[in-house]
Amino acid sequence: MVKRIFALLSMALIALSCNKDGVIVAEGGVPEITLDSTTGVYTVKVGESLTIAPTYKNVDSNTAYSWSIDGVVVSTASSYTFTPQQSGEVFITLEVANVYGVATEEFRVDVTQLQIPTVTIAASEQMSLAVGSTYHLRASVKQTDLPTTVVWRLNDKEVSESFGYIFQAEQVGVYTVTATATNSDGEHSDSVEIQVLAEADMPFIWQFESEMLHTVVGREVIIAPTEVSKGVDVTYYWSSSNQPEDASRQSYYAYTPQSEGRHTITATASILRGNEPMVISKMFTLDVYAEGKFYREATATSAAECNRVYDYTPAPGQFIGDKYTATTPTEASTVALQRMQKSQYVSLGGFGGYIVVGFDHSITNGEGYDFAVGGNSFNSSSEPGIVWVMQDENGDGEPNDTWYELAGSETGKSTTIRNYAVTYYRPSGAGMSVQWVDNMGGSGEIAYLPTYHKQDYYYPEWITADSYTLRGTRLEARNYDKYGNGTMWIQPPYDWGYADNYSSVDRLADGEGSESTAMPNGFDISNAIDHSGNKIELGFVDFVKVQTACNTSSGWLGENSTEVFGIYDIK
């Protein structure tokens, strides 16, 4: 720096000494610099250009200018155009020299990223609809500081400028629907392809999770499809080892075996297409065992706490990927168990998120409560979870048998919905809310809350699919904004029968829960009900599932999500 200043002064002195005709090169003394920023701080975005043009006093044609960044001269002109390639703070030094001396200014340039919007359409990338059917598409756009617009195009023709678009086509064909979000920094698009078919050409779907089933003698088993076409005129025929063929309009079948051994059930679904029938056939194998055959008695060394997490599949939520992360389902289950062993909570996220645990012994159905689930509820904050139980009917040590819901205070009410399903969609970019649609025509989002939870995604990292569906029983939401201005949300308790619920009936401890203190609720296996809501007798269970029961959010508190600290036998 000293050598450069000396060189600049020498140049100015030489210029002055050559002035033999008496013309003064610089008058008034040392140069003065006035930046064209009142704060001395400039802002520019990556890839854009910023021209810094100060005003000067006491300068002329012989004045020398030097702009430098990190000690490297980048310009010798009186102004400087800066085009950054990466974000961050950049400090620039300007030196102006004449025969009288040197003036120096150092200032900062804040380089920010472009705020290009990101848009996600909450729908499958490909879908089929019948001619004349409508489908409500919704776009989620990552918020920026810049005004952003959304334009929908149907096969490149602009059709809407709102955040939602109702698609309907009256002609058979393939349609591409695109939503484009645009602001001054750029644009981003997301698309779905919709195949519109004639009603007669709509594919018929009748799919089952497995054709290998098992149960115990005298216990009803339901053979139900995981997916079936709706609004299609189908005739179903079912037959079993001890029942004649039965024509039915039901896509599912209830069967109660009366003996041990292997039973065979056959089924067909028949549809007429003109005069030509379309038939789908299924054959199910049902292995039937004696009641209590695989009961595992507790010993002196048995632990009360669950000793294994078989499945941890949360819905998206603000705590997912925050305090704990995982990249595979196995790792997620391991982390969940480790947290509960340390008396730390595991969040189940929004509606349908669940955890499945097992024990080193069977939990006996005795008098009163049989096991407990720890949550973090307190007087004004209950986030209820439905509890399910399963008996290891086939003795293989895996939770692949029949789940039975434990009835609670809301069971049977018109506001409680069984077989409710929500599909969640992976966001297109970091920092975006997670879109969802349900099986009742509803839609919404798990809001991104950067003030409190800044991880890139609330979508579970170990779920590789771009969407997934969670099913279960939904309770009516009771949360409300106490003052109407969003400052205090109340989440009242339900009477009894739910995890993470500040119930006065089944709460097993005094005080209130917190992030570090569990508030347990007690559960009675005698409250088990079957798929029809009828009471079922279970002498013991081997697996427990807890599942978030509400699909709602509470403003700045975020989505209602059941938290679990642990699950343990209390006999």
E-state strands within 274-382: 276-289, 308-313, 346-347, 354-364, 371-375
Report d(CA 177, CA 347) in Å as an integer: 36
Take residue 121 and report the two structure tokens written for it: 């359409």
Q: Classify 98 as helix, strand or coil.
A: strand
Hey, which of 116-120, 242-246, 408-412 has the most confident mean pLDDT? 408-412
Give yes or no for a contact between 178 and 158, defined as CB atoms under 8 angstroms apart. Answer: no
Instruction: State which residues form the domain around 146.
Output: 119-200
For residues 259 and 333, state if they share a domain: no
**Phi, psi for 35 (deg, rounded to 5):** -70, 155
For residues 428 and 490, state if they share a domain: yes
| Residue 303, domain member (yes or no) | no
Q: What is the pTM of this model?
A: 0.78
For residues 176 and 254, state if they share a domain: no
For residues 500 and 448, state if they share a domain: yes
- Residue 204: DSSP 8-state: P
pLDDT for res 245: 66
pLDDT for res 314: 98
Strand order in the sheet with 173-183: 126-130, 186-197, 173-183, 149-154, 157-160
Reported as type and span, the H/E element at residue 258 is none
For residues 456 and 353, state if they share a domain: yes
For residues 456 and 476, state if they share a domain: yes
For residues 75 and 157, state if they share a domain: no
pLDDT tens-digit series, residues 290-345? 999 999 999 999 999 999 999 999 999 999 998 888 999 999 999 999 999 999 99
Give yes or no for a contact between 550 and 420, defined as CB atoms under 8 angstroms apart. Answer: no
Report d(CA 120, CA 111) in Å as an integer: 28
pLDDT for res 23: 40
Q: Classify 549 as helix, strand or coil.
A: coil
Contacts (Cβ under 8 Å, ≥6 apart) of 435: 120, 121, 122, 138, 140, 424, 425, 427, 443, 444, 445
For residues 253 and 318, state if they share a domain: no
Upper half-sphere CA count for residue 218 (Cβ side, 13 Å):
6
For residues 388 and 471, state if they share a domain: yes
Number of domains in the chain: 4
For residues 156 and 211, state if they share a domain: no
For residues 401 and 513, state if they share a domain: yes
Give yes or no for a contact between 7 and 73, defined as CB atoms under 8 angstroms apart. Answer: no
Q: Is the pLDDT of residue 243 over 60?
A: yes
Report d(CA 333, CA 399) in Å as an integer: 14
Which CATH number characterizes residue 244's domain? 2.60.40.10
pLDDT for res 408: 98
| Residue 87, domain member (yes or no) | yes
For residues 36 and 80, state if they share a domain: yes
Hey, which of 192-201, 240-249, 258-267 has the most confident mean pLDDT? 258-267
